[in-house]
Structures are given as C-alpha cells and as structure tokens.
Amino acid sequence: MSGIPQLLKQNIFAEPMKEANPVLPGAEVFYLDGPISLVYGGSLSEMQIAYETFGTLSEAKDNVVLLCPAFSANSHVRSTEANPSRGWWESIVGPGLAIDTDKYFVVCASLLGSCYGTTGPASINPQTELPYATKFPVVTIRDIMEGHARVLDHLEIDQVHAVVGGSMGAMQVLEFAIRHPQRLKRFINISGTAHTRPYTAAVRHLGRRAIMFDPAYNEGNYGRVLPIAGLRLAREIGTLFYRSREEFNERFDQDPLRAPGLDEIVFDVQSYLNHQGNKVVVHFDPNSYLYMSMSMDLHDVGRGFASRDEAFSQIQAEALTIGVKEDNLITVDEQYDIHESILRNGGRSHWVEISSRIGHDAFLVETDLITPAIKEFLES
C-alpha cells in the first residue's frame, strides 16, 4: 500500500505559506481603532480591513454593489492590472457581465477572521506582539458583515444599490439586510441559509476535526509548518458537499477492473479529490479555516431577536433568493425557507430555483445559470 502514503508524504512537506495574512496586490487597506466588540463577547483592540473596488463610483454614489465573499474567497472578485490572477466571480463581475462594472461600482472586502489582509488569527496581536492564533476572538457572520459595513462608512457610502453573495456570502447578505435595512435597496442571496442546520454543522465539524487531529496543528501554534494533511482532508470532505452526488456519478468512472492492485488503485474520483485537497494547501491559514468554518455553524439570523420572524421583519429591501435543486450542503428547502420567511414577514421577495449537477458550488462554476436572474433583478 505504498502508493497512497507516498503521495501524501510529498504533500506533507510542501512549501509553507509565504506570508500568514498578506494584503492581496492592488487591495486597499484601512485601520480602525478599537475596542471593537464582537457578537460573541470578545473584542479587538484594532482592526485592519482589506478591500478592492471595481468600476467607477457615480457622483451621486448610487451605483454601488457590495459583494460578500464565500468561505475561502476574498476581495479579489476579478482580475485587475495590479492583480491579474483570476477572481472568484470573474464570469459574473466585469464590463457587460451580470454585475456590469461599466454601470456599477463593486466593493468587496476580505473577511474578518480570514487570511487575506483583513485582521484574522494570523495577524499580530498588538497586546502580545505574537500572532493571535487561537486567542483570536470568536467571530460570527454578523461580525464579518459589520466589516463590510465599515468599508462603506470608510468610502462614505450611505446606501448601496445591492448586496450580493453566495453560500457563506449569502449568510452575510441576509445579516446585512436585517441589521442595516436602510442601507440597501436590493439583495441577492444564492445557496444560503437563515440558520445552520445540524447536518451541515456535522460536515463542517469533521473538516475542523481533520485539521485539529493533525499533529502539525499543534493546538494552533504551527508557525510556518502547516498541518497540510489535515487541511487537505478538510477540503476533501468539503468537496463531497460542495458538489453533488449526481456530478460525481456522471463524471467519474469507477471501473475496478482497471485498477491493478491496492498499491496503485486510484479511481478517477480519488484523483479528483486529491486535486481538490491540493488546492487549499498553499493558500489558507489553518486557524482561519477553523474560525471561518465555526462562524457558519454559529450563523442564525434570529440571534438577538425574539424570533427569526422578527429578524426577517426588519428587512426593507427587495430580495432575490436563488436556490440550487442539487445542493448537497444546504438543501434547496432551506434556501426556499429564506424566500418564504421574507414574504411571511411582509417583505418583497423573488425565488429562482436552478438545477445544476455542480450543486452547492454552482454559483461559482455554472455562472451562466444565474446570470439572467442577477442581471434582470439588478436592473429592475
């Protein structure tokens, strides 16, 4: 059985991350003095926020679209001169695209607690001059969303045309619409949820376990030697849910007759998962992975209200909720529940259901399927 352990070894000693929480090329940065109180009771004595903008702000400042990144994403929505690498919504945001940068001024900040220039566990704690690591306070989706609101403050933008996001981004969108009802006219949430259900939390829990089980994790004090094996496995577990069973079963061959023996058995689907695992490794700070993952498990728009209905009744903006029938992480019923909750509490809401064998990740991969609905809704 030497084949697979051999493959792992190569990766376990992969190059460590170059910088723990780098500001991406071309991103703007600003600082906030604290203490900044967080929902869970912790606070930060200062905060750095990194963001990017795309397009031109109109004189009336009435053409702003605020984007909320998903789990492992950041401010880099599309390629720019300063940072030509492909953005996470390259095919949705740009000149003539669904979110047309010839019309709209797109603002996107990296997430509080993550590792792309906005303060997170890998940042230096000014009180100790060491990285926060697991001393970083618990962050919730609401705290992350408030970071975006602070970017708007910083840019002196009172109200946005729309707030848009998918998956973890959609959770932030909902929090924004509920907590800042007058700061937005419209919002679009895709593959999101109003509160995390136990099965989805179980999936994320196992990803966190994979990282924490790795001896290199060292209770969060891994320095530059990352728990690569754990990070890879966490990502691979996630992949079972970011994509759909239908995709796996149609896309991959499972012909054991081609596999010569246990040493060398690599089904197509195994190679694919290995590839997905590799993708996460050089990019992501393991403590950020844990904090961002936990923020989603803690997500509940009803927090601080008497009920979720009371939370939904705060919403004044018009909603578009897009759900994916094959979503294997957050079911389409959970997504539809957002739409219904808005309507039930007197709001205006539109529901669009798409079918994509990509499942949860459809908003990143099969962007053709969501482009018409986004375009039409933004321009309505």
d(CA 184, CA 173): 10
Q: Closest Cα partner for 363 from 97, 95, 91? A: 91
Q: Which of 327, 337, 341, 350 is catalytic?
A: 327
Residues 6+ apart with CB under 8 A from 51: 27, 28, 75, 107, 108, 109, 110, 151
Which among 75-83, 132-140, 179-187, 310-318 is the span making contact with a second copy, rule CB under 8 A?
Answer: 132-140
- Of 88-96, 104-112, 173-181, 233-241: span binding a second copy (CB under 8 A): 233-241
Which residues are within 8 A (CB) of 355 and not within 5 positions of it... i.e. 6 or more apart?
Answer: 324, 325, 326
List of E strands, the chain: 28-37, 43-54, 64-68, 93-94, 99-100, 105-109, 124-125, 130-131, 160-166, 184-190, 318-324, 349-354
Sort strands 124-125 and 93-94 into parallel, antiparallel or unpaired. Answer: unpaired
Is 327 marked active-site? yes
Q: Is 283 a catalytic residue?
A: no
d(CA 199, CA 60): 45
Q: Does 262 bind a second copy (CB under 8 A)?
A: yes
The pattern of x and - marking residues 311 through 350 that bind a second copy according to CB under 8 A reads: --------------------x-------------------
**Please, which residue, 184 or 273, has the CB nearer to a second copy?**
273
Contact range with a second copy by CB under 8 A, out of 15-23, 290-298, 344-352, 361-369: 290-298
Least distance from a second copy to the Cβ atom of residue 8, Å: 6
Asked if 194 and 215 count as a contact pair (C-beta separation under 8 A), the reply is no
CB 299: neighbour CB atoms within 10 A?
Answer: 24
Six-digit token pair at 357?
């064998």
Name the segment binding a second copy (CB under 8 A); options: 2-10, 155-163, 172-180, 370-378. 2-10
Interface with a second copy includes 291 (CB under 8 A)?
A: yes
In whole angstroms, the minimum distance from the beta carbon of 55 to a second copy comes to 37
* Tokens, residue 66: 């605020």
- One residue of 32, 201, 282, 369 binding a second copy per CB under 8 A: 201
Chain residues that interact with a second copy, rule: CB under 8 A: 1-2, 4-5, 8, 40-42, 134, 138, 140, 195-199, 201-203, 205-206, 208-210, 212-215, 217, 219-220, 229-230, 232-233, 236-237, 240, 245, 248-249, 251-257, 259, 261-262, 265, 267-270, 273, 290-291, 294, 297-300, 303, 331
